[in-house]
Structure 1
């Protein structure tokens, strides 16, 4: 079941994992059989172990981003978030589609991202 409190906790923990790149922090975000779509039509990373492995292959360095977000829609089984990620040289608008299980872990997570023009 998804609630705004559960979504907020998940995003806070995602940000913690983003900054730490600690495999435990990453793993704690996702259900054992989760699917993580790094962009809408990409082949998903399937399963917690694969998600951790793939995340660490393309990790951002701690302190290299700023991140702002707010919820657009939160229902019992779906949350849609709008966000902005700023890197030293680029800025992205993000739309996240998140489905949490009853433990507050992502069953499915899809990132839609758009790079801002220079």
Structure 2
């Protein structure tokens, strides 16, 4: 299994559990979490990331992700996230790795997906 896939599996586990230990397992203590490439207010440091991840979702998200490309320092992930009854997104993620395999920098690139046509 690739480093990025292992990290992605941990990300999904942390997203579902909202457990601080699961979040800490995938991000370094000094990690940066950017919600967009030019995010003026990223979550800086593990405590801010844990706090942000503890927030409740609007609905139970459904998601599908796969690793596009990777090397030892960067993984690129593509996927979709659907919040039933709310919004759907297409995602591209940059996962910048520390030597221990945790993310030291995470950048989301996302676009809101159009609603399916009415039947």
Where on the TM-score scale, by shorter chain, does this alignment land: which range?
0.7 to 0.9
**Bigger-Rg structure (1/2):** 2
Question: 1:104 and 1:66 mapped to 2: Cα distance?
Answer: 25
Bigger fraction of residues in helix: 1
Q: State the shift of 1:7 in Å.
A: 0.8
| Structure 2 stretches lacking a partner, 5+ long | none
| Structure 1 stretches lacking a partner, 5+ long | none
> Which residue in 2 is equivalent to 1:87?
83
Indicate if the aligned counterparts of 1:18 and 1:60 stay in contact, CA closer than 8 A. Answer: no
Structure 1 runs, 4 residues or longer, greater than 3 Å off = none
> Which residue in 1 is equivalent to 2:57?
60
Partner-residue secondary structure (3-state), 1:25: helix
Equivalent residue for 1:71, pick from 67, 71, 81: 67
Please report the TM-score for the alignment, with normalisation by the length of structure 1. 0.86
Q: Does 1 or 2 have the higher relative contact order (CA < 8 Å, sep 6+)?
A: 1
Equivalent residue for 2:38, pick from 28, 38, 41: 41
C-alpha RMSD of the superposition: 1.7
Please report the TM-score for the alignment, with normalisation by the length of structure 2. 0.86
Equivalent residue for 2:49, pick from 41, 48, 51: 51
Q: 1:17 to 1:74 in 2, by over 3 A?
A: same
Q: May I ask how many residue pairs the two structures share in their alignment?
A: 113
